[in-house]
Amino acid sequence: MRTALVTGASRGIGRAIALRLAKDGFRVIVNYARDGAAAREVVDRIGANAVAVRADLGVPEEVTALAQRVAAETDVLDVLVNNAGIGLPRPIGEVTRADYARLFAVNVEGPFFLTQQLLPLIPDGGRIVNLTSGVTRIAFPEAIAYAMSKGAVQTFTLALAKELGPRGITVNNVAPGIIDTDANAGWLRGDPEAQARAAGRHAVNRVGRADEIADVVAFAASPQAGFVTGTTIDATGGGNL
């Protein structure tokens, strides 16, 4: 049985990815940072072929502990999905050094060093999928530091794809648009005007669903994506075209 690690998999897009990969026959390691109950619910949904592992990707020691736990769970990691991330919806004038440091620790440093430590487990023909964002291809001053962090991940993907290509390991980004998740619930759900504004940013004139992003990740993780690497699969519903 193939094994996948999905970071930030207790809720939202990560949860949908974990459930989809399990449906595709993977044993799934469900990483979470805080919500243990939600992670256990994901594991219960999947059944025996799942395990929950807590680690905050913004803390270097916990990244190392997660990599060690994965190595204890499996000799081969077929798919790594770097999904965990945090937002920072603030313009440049409102971003503190502490905000910036925490954002880049979770969104950039964590995935970088987790991937570095897990590479010995990833076999030839393996898959690495990084979740970025549609904001990397537009001007997005209302969350400038967040957009920068996702831009860094895109550059990471490009370089890593080149390095690992001879082994048949593909490395790709999946870039969601505005998705109806718990993280967006505060400003999106229950506010028809906010929903209309969000939908209007997408060519398809609606907000996306987490399972739609999971479908794209599942393709990037599949054998059918063996000739796709170093690129970004845009899953924004035509955002800001």
87: Cβ contacts below 8 Å, ≥ 6 apart: 143, 146, 183
Q: How far is CA 37 from the centre of its chain?
A: 20
* Both tokens assigned to 138: 């537009």
State which amino acid sits at residue 141.
Answer: P
The DSSP code sequence of 122-140 is PPTT-EEEEE--GGGGS--
Please pick, among 32, 104, 146, 156, the residue that the annotation labels catalytic. 146
Query: Phi and psi dihedrals of 79, rounded to 5?
Result: -140, 130
Per the listing, tokens 């940013």 go with: 201
For the CA atoms of 105, 82, 142, 179, the dihedral, rounded to the nearest 10 degrees, stands at -150
* Both tokens assigned to 194: 């906010």
Nearest one of 213, 181, 235, 231 to 21, comparing CA atoms: 213
100 is catalytic: no
Question: What SS3 class is residue 36?
Answer: helix
d(CA 162, CA 129): 14
Residues labelled as active-site residues: 146
